[in-house]
Structure 1
Amino acid sequence: MQYLLLNRSPCILIETPHKELEPADSSSFKKYSFKNLFIKASPIPRLSWASSDDVWIKMLNKELKYVHDKSYLQQHPKLQPKMRAILLDWLLEVSEVYSLHRQTAYLAQDYFDRFMLTQENVNKDYLQLIGITALFIASKIEEIYPPKIFEFAYVTDGACDMWDIQRTELHILKALDWNLCPETPISWLKLYSQVEAQKDDENFLEPQFSQETYIQITQLLDLCMMDISSLDYSYSVLAAAAFCHFSTFDVVHKVSGLTWESVSPCVRWMSPFMDTLRSEAKPQIKNFPKVKADDRHNIQTHVAYLDLLSKAQERQIDSPDCQLSPVAAGMILTPPSSTEKPVNL
């Protein structure tokens, strides 16, 4: 079945099968590798409001339910990895403009990648529409006061209107079968950070970890997420590998249950990204209007990620143990001005 987006050339939208894949169905999952999944006693301390084991198991189950795979680019011959990087960089900038949470930005990335896994022959002209719609959906899931749909249309500078976003929203929701609650690298990182900093007499729901260290790790995750090879790893492993670059593996093992064998390939792959960030100034906690001081670290920020990505990928070429991501000429999106927002919102 074909649909027209933006009244341009058609792209094929494939319906997601209604039957949900079960982990026991090995034939359905034979093309995916789950070697990094783990079963271990919950590192979450005892909770007064829930069973820590139940919370842990639910998080692990999502690693099976929400499948991502970088091979989807084979289904889209007109697309290149750099196009995805440009799109995600722009979405991070939009997220900062509207003071959206990091989890919102990472949900949008997950929706985009999983949606593209269900499609074929999508043209690059539709990527901005798909990306901004994914962010629109994510903001309604995560934000208490999400921006209005006309605000998301506004930042595309006329490339997408509200009707385009509404139609694409239905396409994405149907393709994802309304599965919109993955555990993102950010949610795993927050868990690891909290478990590491937790003391027996403190409320587990109240952040105890250092905001300064946390935003440094999130910057590493932001940069890595823009490289499509990050989809080779489960989100829990990505977060653990990033955490490992700022701590010891003994701590990482304690908070995640992962073995060195399962996390070390990702740690090595991530090393050029970390080396690139070491040469840059440390990120500072930014002030956002109407955002409380104890929540500032949760707001998504943006730096010159495309330049940093190019430097990291150049380092990968000189690192024989790192998996390389091809770099190709991309498209040009219309980023919003960092100080420009609609008035009278």
Structure 2
Amino acid sequence: MSQSCSNCFSDLLCGEDSSIIFSVDLYSSDLESRPPDVDESIAALLEEERDLAGIDSDSSHHQSIDASARAESVAWILKVQRYYGFQPLTAYLSVNYFDRFLYSHHLPKMNGWPIQLLSVACLSLAAKMEEHLVPSLLDLQVEGAKFIFEPRNIQRMELLVLRVLDWRLRSISPFCYLSFFAFKIDPTGIYTGFLTSRAKEIILLTLQEISLLEYRPSCTAAASILCAANDLPKFSYITVQDAELWCDGLHKDNIMSCYQLIRKVSINNSPKKQPKVFPQVRVMTRASINSGDSSSSYSTSVSSSYKRRKLNNISLVDDVKGSSD
């Protein structure tokens, strides 16, 4: 009987090597504890990152993906990530699944409901991988989702994504390298917290840029940490040549081009400061102050304006209530 049950679930088993499945510590978003073999761990990450990412660094692969549709989907994923306070890694993995799926399995209509369904499924899978508390599939569809899907349809899409990705959801990300690179810049550890936090913000700001798909996670991490370091006057002297020496596998030309792209995109996507709006002050002459008629007319106009706003607000609420009824 037990044999037959195991056969029933044999198709749900992933085909990954056992050494990959149980070496999950390599994929941690931070290596803050700095074990003695951290250099060996980084070397293992560099060796495996291309294979586990599921996407070659060849720049030709992203030409088959609609950049505008992808940017819209990534923007929605980031909105939900901020709405629920998900980890940055959750958003990154969502986009990683999204890109890997589109690279190997084209959807029939990029700007219709299939792309939205894929976005929800990828975000759901990533949240299940990284978050302790995961919203329901219906609650996950917030922040201006154009279509609302039934949970069973999202689950079917999740299974399709899993099959296309060969059940390989644990992917090496730039976050794996951030603490290691930050320690290379600041061995004292005083500024490593700021450097890693700022680099994570930069990575999220640049997720919508499709051109960054050409760069390996280690290169993206090095360029992001370099951008974060250059924001501090204390580390403004850190250059691409310095970053190339942080570990094997980094090349200054790739870091430089990635750095320039990240710097440009992050500046363009940074939230703009709202201009200060000063309240309008009614300037009155001494004559008008002494005139009782002017003061009376002013108070009457303010009162009538307030009444009009109040009536408009009431009518608006009534309209909403009427439409809901």
Shorter-chain TM-score: what band? 0.5 to 0.7
**How many Å apart are 1:192 and its aligned residue?**
2.0
Secondary structure of residue in 2 paired with 1:170: helix
Which residue does the alignment assign to 1:111? Answer: 97
Tell me the TM-score normalised to structure 2 length. 0.61
How far apart, in 2, do the equivalents of 1:278 and 1:121 lie?
A: 31
How far apart, in 1, do the equivalents of 2:33 and 2:141 lie?
A: 45
8 Å Cα contact 1:104-1:138 kept in structure 2: yes
Q: 1:274 to 1:150 in 2, by over 3 A?
A: closer
Which residue does the alignment assign to 2:243? Answer: 252
**How many Å apart are 1:262 and its aligned residue?**
3.5
Aligned CA RMSD, in angstroms, stands at 3.3
Tell me the TM-score normalised to structure 1 length. 0.58
How far apart, in 2, do the equivalents of 1:133 and 1:279 lie?
A: 28
Correspondence 1:183 to 2:172: yes
How far apart, in 2, do the equivalents of 1:179 and 1:215 lie?
A: 27
8 Å Cα contact 2:80-2:142 kept in structure 1: no
Which residue does the alignment assign to 1:163? Answer: 152
How far apart, in 1, do the equivalents of 2:154 and 2:172 lie?
A: 25
Q: 1:274 to 1:171 in 2, by over 3 A?
A: closer
Residue 237 of structure 1 aligns to which amino acid in structure 2? C
Question: What is the identity percentage for the equivalent residue pairs of Structure 1 and Structure 2?
Answer: 23
* Structure of greater Rg: 2
Q: 1:251 to 1:127 in 2, by over 3 A?
A: same
Report 1:36-75 matches (<5 A): 48=35, 51-65=37-51, 66-68=53-55, 71-72=60-61, 74-75=63-64
8 Å Cα contact 2:220-2:258 kept in structure 1: yes
| Structure 2 segments unaligned to the other structure (5+ residues) | 1-13, 17-30, 230-237, 274-325
How far apart, in 2, do the equivalents of 1:210 and 1:46 lie?
A: 13
Structure 1 or 2: more helix by fraction: 2
**How many Å apart are 1:215 and its aligned residue?**
4.0
How many aligned residue pairs are there?
A: 232
> What are the superposed Cα offsets for residues 230-289 of structure 1, whole Å, 9 maximum, x if unpaired?
1111111112112222331255345444242331222233342254368945xxxxxxxx
Instruction: Select the structure with the greater relative contact order (CA < 8 A; seq sep ≥ 6).
Output: 1
| Structure 1 segments unaligned to the other structure (5+ residues) | 1-17, 21-43, 282-345
Ranges of 4+ aligned residues in structure 1 off by more than 6 Å:
none
Q: 1:19 to 1:118 in 2, by over 3 A?
A: farther
How far apart, in 2, do the equivalents of 1:71 and 1:147 lie?
A: 36
Residue 174 of structure 2 aligns to which amino acid in structure 1? P
